[in-house]
Amino acid sequence: MLFVVVTFITAWALKWDIKTTFLALVSSIPPFGTIVFERWAVKTGRLAELSEPGSREDAPATV
């Protein structure tokens, strides 16, 4: 249930369309489906800061 709630919050925050939201929800059913969805979402630019090239390397280190 928590995954469904987080999916809807993320869909609203990132302004996902119905198709992306539906795929995210369906990905929770098969084993490891969320991993496949996350890889697709990053590759297609649907996961905000994770999709930006170089975002992890360019981020300043925090202590």
| Burial 7-38, CB ≥16 within 10 A → b, else e | beebbeeeebeeebbebbeebeeeeeebeebe
Q: Which amino acid is at 46?
A: R
- Count of structural domains, the chain: 1
Residue 23 belongs to a domain:
yes
pTM as predicted: 0.61
Does the residue 61 lie in any domain?
A: no
Give the whole-angstrom CA distance, residue 63 versus residue 58.
16
Enclosing domain of residue 37: 2-46
60 Cβ neighbours under 8 A, 6+ residues apart: none
Average pLDDT by stretches of 10, the chain with 63 residues: 89 90 89 87 78 53 52
- Grouping H, G, I as helix, E, B as strand and the rest as coil, residue 27 is coil
63, part of any domain? no
